Amino acid sequence: MHYADIMHTSRFRPLFGAFFVCGALTCAAAAQKTPIHVVADLTDAPRKMYHAEVDLPVTPGPLTLTTPRWIPGNHRPTGPVSDITGVVFTIDGKPIAWRRDDVDLYEFHVTVPQGAATLHAHLDCIVTARLTNKMAVLEWEKLLLYPAHVPVRDIPIQPSLKVPQGWGVGTALQPEGASPWPVPAAGSTTKFAVTNVEQLEDSPVITGQYFHEFALAPTISPKHYIDVVSDQPEDSNLRPNTLAEINNLVREADAEYASHHYNVYHFLLTLSDVAGGEGLEHGQSSDNGVGEKGFADDAHQLAEADLLSHEFTHSWNGKYRRPVGLYQPDFATPQQGTLLWVYEGMTQYLGNVLAARSGLKSQAQYRDLLAMSAANLDSKPGREWRSTEDTAIAASVLRGGNPAWSNWRRGQDYYQEGELLWLDADTLIRKMTDNKKSLDDFQKIFLAKGGNTGPQIVTYTFDELVADLNQVVKYDWATFLHDRVDRINPRADLAGIERGGYKLVYNDQPSTSEKMMAAAGGRRGAGVDCWYSIGLRISADGAIADVRWNGPADKARLAPGQKIMAINGQIFSPELLREAIRGAKGNSEPIKLIVQSDTYVSNAEIDYHDGERYPVLERADATPAYLDDITKPLTTPEKAPEAKKMNEDSAK
């Protein structure tokens, strides 16, 4: 059955509002029960270990406890049960026997004796990512233990936190008995207000020795902050330009979405080459991790420019409004990814647009990166057999994995495919209304339902999506979406780019943005870019990560995992490969390689003669530049203090 047909069946049509989820302090069920108490001890974080002491209210008899499996935002079962160790249950200090479930390995069975009202659990969690000697990140699923088979929104819990002496703390959790934010100075145990398990899992913590908290956009309510920890003391003090742009981001989102669904919002940012990268959305915060110099200068920032805006947008699209199949009442039931092209795809579009509007990247840089993304999709042979819908449905098995032949397998393409789809919709609305309406109008309908709220979850279906689009402008939106998402489309959806006044072309030189990222050594600038010429993704040492299916290198029988040792009789280097591609243009001689495969060496010849090819967007004459209209700020941009002073001085 096709996706659109499934979504039109009655069992996928809950009444709007039927899945409202109560906030942390407004659950009637939470108010009627004794909360679980959990103390998270991060004082051993530099030794890659977290500890927890958990007190659970119980009644005599059999009890099944569980830890989370399906973590919202991860789109697959990533619960850390394999790293949870040292589990000991006690009542009044006496050990209680437990047994893991034979089928559901996340569940623990205990029998509570007569007269007992509280069960104590100690557990440790081995943590090997998102921490260093100077910082740590806590996603609460690492230390949660709670009754199984109960909706997590109905389980009250009161968290406390211990961190190393002198470390600062950033989180959206509200300290108990204190003015709400920021969190009090660290060094002892901080007790937070009662919430529920669903909201606690959605409220990460960052902590570190080098900690800075910056208040953002003071005229916007509720309050917004960015909390930064780093391995080096100078890095957590963000550049004035970057802070001005993040202030702009808060104002631009306020103008775009016309609502807020949180009581406070914290951007949580780690700057470390050791802790690893991250981008994970939460309702009242976001967990963002980049390299140590990720925001130190414009070149490094460009590679990360959409990170904060993407995860911030998820507070509306993904956390507040969530596809019906992606929301489950517990963390054990598998999530269904059918509508991830909305959850992630529309967020990918809006995040990049907001990054450009706020100045985190320029309009020209937005176009350069859009060209790179569109070209990548247009050169994925896997689209000949796999639809965008299937990349969403299969998200839990497509995340991660080996890059070998990933262009034929396809991966999480619902992100970038969704970006092009929603650009297509945006420019179509603009064209049909003579630029008087846009996707901005849709956001104010779709994401602002219910007005300003605290953290809630309101699910939606395909039908509601179509109905809300029709409120903006009447059109056959069901067919529009069905054709682009459900059907096999051998070429990428470039209609939005073209209707937006540009066209995708290939030059023999990289764009300014691609050169900038390559020079900075960012994650998107590493290796040798010859994907659109000979069809290879190659690291700087000649190792082949992927081969474009049916491309020139594929026809030469090259394979992922091989290593290029020599080119035309000379030892491999990235520049030598580029020279060989340029030199083969216009002549009949193939590019000759010596290739290592495991312990064997062989020769290969690539028959390619069209030179280097790099994607860029070129302005199309006599067409409205909707793409430029889309990325213009909706508010007056803030400038960094030194920029303001320069303008004032020049005006004297």
Share of the chain above pLDDT 70, in %: 91
pLDDT of residue 641: 63
Q: For the segment 564-611, what is each residue's pLDDT rounded down to a tens digit?
A: 999 999 999 999 999 999 999 989 999 999 999 999 999 999 999 999
The pLDDT of residue 18: 37
- Token pair 């590679």 is at which residue? 303
Residue 541, classified by CB atoms within 10 Å of its CB into exposed (0-12), middle (13-18) or buried (19+), is exposed
pLDDT of 393 above 80: yes
- Weakest-pLDDT range from 65-79, 109-123, 168-182, 542-556: 168-182
Map tokens 């896997």 to a residue.
382
| pLDDT at 79 > cutoff 90 | yes
Q: Is the pLDDT of residue 85 over 50?
A: yes
- The tokens describing 534, both together, are 């000979």
Q: Is the pLDDT of residue 2 over 60?
A: no
Q: What angle do CA 90, 91, 92 make, to 5 degrees?
A: 115
**pLDDT tens-digit series, residues 128-149:** 999 999 999 999 999 999 999 9
Which residue is listed with tokens 């802790």?
A: 275
Reading the block at residue 527, the tokens are: 């290796």
H/E segment holding residue 100: strand 98-100
Residue 513 phi/psi, 5-degree rounding, is -70, -40
Confidence of residue 8 (pLDDT cuts 50, 70, 90): very low
Under 8 Å between Cβ of 367 and 613: no
pLDDT band at 184 (very low <50, low <70, confident <90, very high): low
> SS3 for 614?
strand
Closest CA to 262 of 181, 379, 366: 181
Helix or strand holding residue 124 (H, E): strand 118-126
**pLDDT value for 217:** 97
Give the mean model confidence (pLDDT) for residues 94-106.
98
DSSP 71: -
pLDDT (0 to 100) of residue 550? 97
Q: Residue 499 — pLDDT band, cuts 50, 70, 90?
A: very high
pLDDT (mean) for 374-388 = 98
Q: What is the CA angle 393-395-397, rounded to 5?
A: 110
Average pLDDT of span 162-171: 96
pLDDT of residue 187: 57
Question: How far are the Cα atoms of 278, 284, 570 from residue 171, in angstroms, in the given order?
Answer: 16, 9, 55
When mean pLDDT is compared across 397-411, 453-467, 518-532, the lowest value belongs to 518-532
Q: How confident is the model at residue 11 (pLDDT cuts 50, 70, 90)?
A: very low
pLDDT of residue 10: 29
Residue 399 binned pLDDT confidence (cut-offs 50, 70, 90): confident
Instruction: Tell me if 413 sits within 8 A of 391, measured CB to CB.
Output: yes
Burial class (CB in 10 A: 0-12, 13-18, 19+), 99: exposed
- Alpha-carbon 466 to chain mean position: 25
The pLDDT > 90 percentage for the chain reads: 87
pLDDT for residue 637:
87
| Average pLDDT of every residue of the chain | 91
Q: Which residues, at least 6 apart from 441, have a Cβ–Cβ distance to it below 8 Å?
A: 429, 472
Q: Tell me what the mean pLDDT of segment 71-75 comes to.
A: 96
List pLDDT tens digits, range 321-377. 999 999 999 999 999 999 999 999 999 999 999 999 999 999 999 999 999 999 999
For 439-449, what is the mean pLDDT?
A: 96
Rounded to whole angstroms, how far apart are CA atoms 21 and 198?
A: 9
Nearest to 546 by CA among 411, 412, 410, 405: 405
Which pLDDT score, from 0 to 100, does residue 650 have?
A: 34
Supply φ then ψ for residue 223, to 5 degrees. -75, 150
Note the pLDDT of residue 33: 83
Three-state SS for 289?
strand
pLDDT score at 400:
78
pLDDT of amino acid 523: 43
Cβ proximity of 248 and 362 under 8 Å: no
| Confidence check: pLDDT of 5 > 50 | no
* 544: three-class secondary structure by DSSP: strand
What is d(CA 178, CA 237) in angstroms, rounded to the nearest whole number?
Answer: 26
Joined tokens for residue 98: 């437990």
Question: What pLDDT is recorded for position 25?
Answer: 40
Tell me the three state secondary structure of residue 3: helix
DSSP 622-643: TS--HHHHHTS-SSPPP--HHH
| 3-class state of residue 565 by DSSP | strand
> In the structure, what pLDDT confidence band is assigned to residue 6 with cuts at 50, 70 and 90?
very low
In eight-state DSSP terms, residue 184 is: P
pLDDT on residue 401: 77
Answer for the pair 209, 265: CB distance below 8 angstroms, yes or no. Answer: no
646 to 164, 247, 358, 643, 652: CA distances (angstroms): 42, 20, 20, 5, 10
Give the separation between CA 291 and CA 522, rounded to whole angstroms: 9
Assess whether pLDDT exceeds 60 at residue 20.
no
pLDDT reported for residue 21: 44
Is the model's pLDDT at 218 over the cut of 50? yes
Task: With cut-offs at 50, 70 and 90, classify the pLDDT of residue 519.
Answer: confident
Distance CA 381, CA 379 (A): 6
pTM for the full predicted model:
0.92
Closest Cα partner for 180 from 259, 266, 254?
266
Low-confidence winner among 6-10, 478-482, 627-631, 638-642 (lowest mean pLDDT): 6-10
- Give the model's pLDDT for residue 151: 97
Tokens of residue 304, six digits: 């990360």
In the predicted model, is pLDDT for residue 273 greater than 50? Answer: yes
In the structure, what pLDDT confidence band is assigned to residue 27 with cuts at 50, 70 and 90? Answer: very low
Split at pLDDT 50, 70, 90, the class of 526 is low
Residue 400 has what DSSP assignment? S
Instruction: Tokens 């414009």: give the residue.
Output: 298
Which whole number is the average pLDDT over 249-256? 98
| Rg, Å, the chain Cα set | 26
Q: Are 306 and 253 in contact (CB under 8 A)?
A: no
In sequence order, what DSSP letters do the residues of 199-238 get, joined into one string?
Answer: HHHT--EEEESEEEEEEE-TTSSS-EEEEEEESSTTTTS-
Torsion of CA 111, 114, 118, 121, to 10 degrees: -30
